[in-house]
Amino acid sequence: MVLKKYNINPDLALERQKCTFDIEEIINIFDGGKEKTSQRRKIEDVVLKSGLCHDDVPEECMSLKERYENAVRKSCFFSKLMKTELQEITGIEDFETPAIRRIADALFKDISPFLLHLGMFVPTIIGQCTSEQLMIWLPKALDLQIIGGYAQTELGHGTFIRGLETTATYDADTEEFVLHTPTLTAHKWWAGGLGKTINHCIVVAQLYTKGVCYGTHLFMVQIRDLDTHMPLPGIKVGEIGPRMGFSSADNGFLGFNNFRIPRNNMLMKHAQVQKDGTYVKPARHGKLTYQTMVFVRVTLVNEAAFNLSKAVTIAVRYSAVRRQSEMRPNEPEPQILDYPTQQHKLFIGIATAHAFQLTANWLWNTFKSVLSDMKKGDVGTLPELHALSSCLKAVCTSDAALLIEQCRYACGGHGYMLSSNLPYIYSFVAATRTYEGDYTILLLQTARFLVKAWEQAEAGKTVTPTVSYISRSLKGEKNSWRSTDEGIIKSFQAVAAGKIALCVKSIRDRMKSGLDYEDAWLLTTVQLVDAAEAHCRSVILETYCNEVRRLTKSSSDNVKIVMHQLVTLYLSYWTLQRTGDLLRYSSISEKDIDFMQRQYEELLQHIRPNAVALVDAFDLRDEILHSSLGAYDGRVYERLMEQAENNPMNAEPVNQSFHKYIKPLLQGKL
């Protein structure tokens, strides 16, 4: 759609005059510097001027088939643009992925069917191939001569990878693997792009050689003819059917009937099968084939932040424009943003988007540093990365989904319109809580790490920095509540330590009463999930505070003030959410809680004048927001009427169903 130009809504214009800080300064902080902001904007300009974002009919009014076809069209032209014009016009050689990621949303309200190509297929090639394999597949994949996906999950198993049923049996006579789907539940299920789009995919299958099963390994499989796009003989492939979101991502199913691939199509960076069928196991760590999942979990923290920033921008701008009810008799109706309950719904969304974005950047740097350790042969830092990426993916996607839904509540009935874009944003983020490792499962992975860390600390060994609070707790350090940033973080660490201690005790007590370790663990899993979540909260709180302090060192005073107000709001909010835990594991008193409540309410008032400016500082263009409620000009009612008028349902004054059914019914002739 072409966005009509309107004058700025007067309420929104007034809001912007109230701003106390330089918006550009905050934009630069989140982009990683002035230079990066300017690069990002250049990229956005190129894409927006390309005409690619235009749809004749709103996406939500298209049929599923039309939506898919439209998304393929855009994905192809966008890929071409990335390979050619973007590079030439902007002169930027090394594309910054966040900038490309952001502008991709101007093209797709839903999801690109190519998402998994860049999101998982290419990263798996990079992380799992030998250098010879890399030379064969990477240039083709980057040049889009082949388009791929990642088919791991099956109809019967997603979480439990070791339970996957697809087999890859090595035939030494022909030097081939035979891929087979032995049961109904062994069919690959869910892979994005698999239904109709991709011609290659990474398949995860149980490797058999010389009659022995060596567990799951990764294989490069061509599934369609490159010219006709017909499924190759021995391949059964299709779309799995309508879903809550991901409507244009053609998630698919895949079955193999003794389908043969060359030996060299097993991705052999870590484990190998030699020509004679001898298996060579990974030298360093048994879970290196899970690396792409770790990579995606890391990027999903960024996704949580980005999508939350979109939702809260829409809801805050809408709340500044919307007037409803009365605060006092005979006074004009206030902007709904003036209600403290509305501020309570929304300002935590702004603070959380900041907290998650800075945590995502920190996690990304941690990921890069672990990769570089691994290149040198050191896998010692991998368990901590796995524990961190697991809990952060779980908690950030889950919190973001809840807060996005809260943004929709904050927009009343209009938030329920697809044109608000809030339902789309929600359905995308809701899926991130499940895919790439379900919430509970990932927290249980972190819990394994925490229990081990506890045991190590108990044995007097040094533990990694993110769990060093465990050693302090074991030394008997008592928590004394202080309502400073540092004091609150320490108390949240005391909560995490207290919960881990109880888990360890529960497991031991249960074992003393005769249970084996597995049962004792299983019966403690409710507490273990809770302990891992508490650990994650302490990591987010600490990272957010540290990063704001570091990044605003040379900022203007007003930016320091407003960024720190958000940090304090975040700390106060979580203190009030977790008073039960803090009363149990820290020395917080009722008086302290009263103080925190008052501080929280005062902060809502302090942040109020800057609310619109703070969401403007996410620098999200209207084309990325796609929202009748959240456009920069605040012309909410004009846009709602526009989208109603453009609704294809209104193209004819009388729908044919009147003549077919209603009229006969009215006349008693049906």
Ligand X SMILES: CC/C=C/C/C=C\C/C=C\C/C=C\CCCCC(=O)SCCNC(=O)CCNC(=O)[C@H](O)C(C)(C)COP(=O)(O)OP(=O)(O)OC[C@H]1O[C@@H](n2cnc3c(N)ncnc32)[C@H](O)[C@@H]1OP(=O)(O)O
List, by residue number, the catalytic residues: 436
CB of 495 to ligand X, least distance (A): 23
Give the residue with the Cβ less far from ligand FAD, 492 or 521. Answer: 521
Nearer to ligand X, 161 or 569 (CB): 161
304 binds, among ligand X, ligand FAD, none (CB under 5 to 8 A by kind): none
Residue at shortest CB range from ligand FAD: 158
The site partner of 386 among ligand FAD, ligand X, none (C-beta below 5 to 8 Å per kind) is ligand X
To the nearest whole angstrom, how small is the minimum distance from the Cβ of residue 252 to ligand FAD? 9
Which partner, ligand X, ligand FAD, none, binds residue 123 by CB below 5 to 8 Å per kind? none
Compose the 243-262 pattern: x for residues touching ligand FAD by CB under 6 A, - for all others: ---x----x-----------
Q: Copy the structure tokens of residue 320.
A: 């500044």
Residue partners of 350: CB distance under 8 A and separation at least 6: 312, 316, 566, 607, 611, 614, 615
Residue type at position 611: A
Whether residue 630 is annotated as binding a ligand: the answer is: no
Contact 633, 6 (CB under 8 A): yes
The whole-angstrom separation of Cα 223 and Cα 230 is 9
Coil/strand/helix, residue 217: strand
Residue 431 sits in the site that holds ligand FAD (CB under 6 A): yes
Per the CB < 8 A criterion, the answer to whether 529 and 443 are in contact is yes
If one asks whether residue 192 binds ligand FAD (CB under 6 A), the answer comes out as yes
SS3 of 538, please? Answer: helix
Choose from ligand FAD, ligand X, none: what does 492 bind? Cβ within 5-8 Å by kind: none
Our CB check for ligand X shows the closer of 245 and 487 to be 245
The annotation status of 192 as a binding-site residue, yes or no, is yes
- Told to check if 153 binds ligand FAD by CB under 6 A, we report yes
Rg (CA), the chain: 27
Question: 454 vs 37, 89, 472, CA distance in Å?
Answer: 43, 54, 11
Question: Of these partners, ligand X, ligand FAD, none, which one is at the site of residue 115 (CB under 5 to 8 Å by kind)?
Answer: ligand X
The stretch near ligand FAD (CB under 6 A) out of 23-31, 148-156, 167-175, 618-626 is: 148-156
C-alpha to C-alpha distance for 271 and 57, rounded to whole angstroms: 50
If we measure between CA atoms, which residue out of 447, 620, 616 comes closest to residue 536? 447
Binding mask 91-120 for ligand FAD (x = CB under 6 A): -------------------------x----
Q: Among 289, 326, 356, 308, which Cα is nearest to 547's?
A: 356
Among the residue ranges 163-171, 174-182, 190-198, 446-454, the one whose residues contact ligand FAD (CB under 6 A): 190-198
Contact footprint for ligand X (CB under 6 A): 100-101, 104, 115-116, 118-120, 150, 152-153, 158-162, 192, 287, 290, 293-294, 296, 299, 303, 382-383, 386, 435-437, 441, 445, 448
Contact predicate 124/292, CB 8 Å: yes
Find the Cα–Cα–Cα–Cα dihedral 408, 412, 416, 421, rounded to 10°.
Answer: -50
CB 21 within 8 A of CB 562: yes
Residue numbers in the known binding site for FAD are 153, 192
| Site residues (vs ligand FAD, CB under 6 A) | 116, 150-153, 157-159, 190-192, 246, 251, 431, 434-438, 440-441
